[in-house]
Amino acid sequence: MTVYLFDFDGTLVDSHEAVEKALRLAIERTIPAVIESELYDEYYRALFLFIKGKLTYRHLGVIHELVAQGTIHEYYRLMPTFIKDFPNARRVVRTLRKRGRLVVSFSGEHTYPGGKVIFLKKTNWYDEFDSIVTFKGTGDMLQKFESMRDLHPDEPIVWIDDSPSRFTYVTDDNTLLVQKASPYKHDVALLFERDNFLKIRNIREVLDIDDRLGEFME
């Protein structure tokens, strides 16, 4: 039984514009006085860094205010409403499951604890998967991947992600690494030298890969 690991943001759904809209509206609705002031850029930057897990000490005071005003909570409430599926994304996942493949959501956790599961449920993606796995940082990602391999020691794994840098840490030869092209992520040149790496433009191509998986895993 082939195991498919799907990243979420940027792979199955387009969340890039959703982030910008939710950031702006969250500030506008909870701290409206900031919108027309010189502080707006600082508040926007602080909130953006927080949700990306890259907050610096310089913005700590602003974050305390954003928490007190409910801005962060409002962002996570709004964000899922702006997320859009990529064309054919659900059809691909459903088709793979109909074919008897094990389909797993395998993606990074949000800074907000449990945020990824909340997003999956609010976008009606949660039940599309056989299981949900989230990770925090590279070390946790590799540990979760190894746990997945331990559960399925002999089965081929196909990992689809728009962040190819994650693949550089994986040395498992029985895993096909598939980069979903993204205008916001850079290629990693060394990956193109590996026999178990592919780059696709459209998520629909995963079904073609599934049809010919034996060729790729030889």
What value does the mean pLDDT of the chain take?
Answer: 92
Tell me the C-alpha distance between 166 and 197, whole Å: 12
Same domain, 76 and 117: no
Kindly report, residue by residue over 38-91, the tens digit of the pLDDT.
888 998 998 888 887 777 778 888 888 888 999 988 998 899 999 999 999 999
Same domain, 73 and 91: no
How far CA 135 is from CA of 62, 91, 160, 167, 213, in Å, comes to 27, 25, 15, 15, 27
Single out the residue in 82, 108, 131 at which a domain terminates. Answer: 82
Tell me the C-alpha distance between 6 and 99, whole Å: 16
pLDDT score for 218: 64
Same domain, 77 and 91: no
Same domain, 26 and 123: no
**Beta-carbon count within 10 A of 98 CB:** 8
Same domain, 8 and 52: no
Tell me the C-alpha distance between 67 and 65, whole Å: 5
End-to-end CA distance of the chain: 16
Same domain, 26 and 90: no
% residues pLDDT > 90 (the chain): 68
User: Total structural domains in the chain?
Assistant: 2
Q: Are 59 and 48 in contact (CB under 8 A)?
A: no
Single out the residue in 24, 57, 82 at which a domain terminates. Answer: 82
Same domain, 74 and 181: no
Structure tokens at 70: 């409910």
Same domain, 61 and 88: no
Same domain, 111 and 54: no
Tokens 């794994």 locate to 157
* Cα–Cα nearest to 149, from 137, 161, 135, 159: 159
Class of residue 62 by CB neighbours under 10 A (exposed 0-12, middle 13-18, buried 19+): buried
- Residue 149 is part of a domain; what is its CATH number? 3.40.50.1000
Tell me the C-alpha distance between 103 and 106, whole Å: 9
Q: Give this prediction's pTM.
A: 0.90
Which of helix, strand or coil describes residue 133?
strand
Determine the structural domain holding residue 133 and report its residue range.
Answer: 3-14+84-216
Residues 6+ apart with CB under 8 A from 153: none
Tell me the C-alpha distance between 179 and 182, whole Å: 9
Single out the residue in 54, 82, 110 at which a domain terminates. Answer: 82
Same domain, 108 and 202: yes
Kindly report, residue by residue over 31-51, the tens digit of the pLDDT.
998 888 888 899 899 888 888
Same domain, 104 and 154: yes
Kindly report, residue by residue over 106-151, the tens digit of the pLDDT.
999 877 778 889 889 999 999 999 999 999 989 999 999 999 999 9
Q: Is the pLDDT of residue 198 over 80?
A: yes
pLDDT score for 115: 81
